[in-house]
Amino acid sequence: MSLNPAPKMKFLGSGFESWLKGAAFVAFFYFLAMLQTGFLVHFAVAPAIFPNLILLAIIIINFLESPRAGKGFFGAIFGGFFWDIFSQNPIGFHILILLTLTALMKIILRKYVRFSSIRYG
């Protein structure tokens, strides 16, 4: 019987490509924050309910990636950072909340929930 060691958590890879992916990720969350604070203010999903794109993006990223992957944490840090920048809260407030949410989702998805229709890379 052989014991395979648990695979290491993957982040964005290595080298120039990973920097490019990282920059694109940061730009994506920055764009979401701009859209949220400037454009979507004028639209409500239901009376007085406005969507929170950053939170939605974090949840979707965590659902679609492998529970061992690290993009969710990366997204939580930068999504939370831009959320704090464009709010009254001190920097770090929403970063902590989103990191906690991501960690909880990863634990639940790794131990208790599996989607047969989603194949992780």
Q: Does 11 bind another protein (CB under 8 A)?
A: no
Which of 1, 4, 7, 39 is the binder for another protein (CB under 8 A)?
39
CB 46 within 8 A of CB 76: no
Stretch 71-110 residues interacting with another protein (CB under 8 A): 83, 85-88, 90-92, 95
User: Based on CB atoms, which residue is closest to another protein, 17 or 110?
Assistant: 110
Burial of 52 per CB tally in 10 Å (0-12, 13-18, 19+)? middle
User: Based on CB atoms, which residue is closest to another protein, 34 or 104?
Assistant: 34
What tokens were used for 21? 């992916």
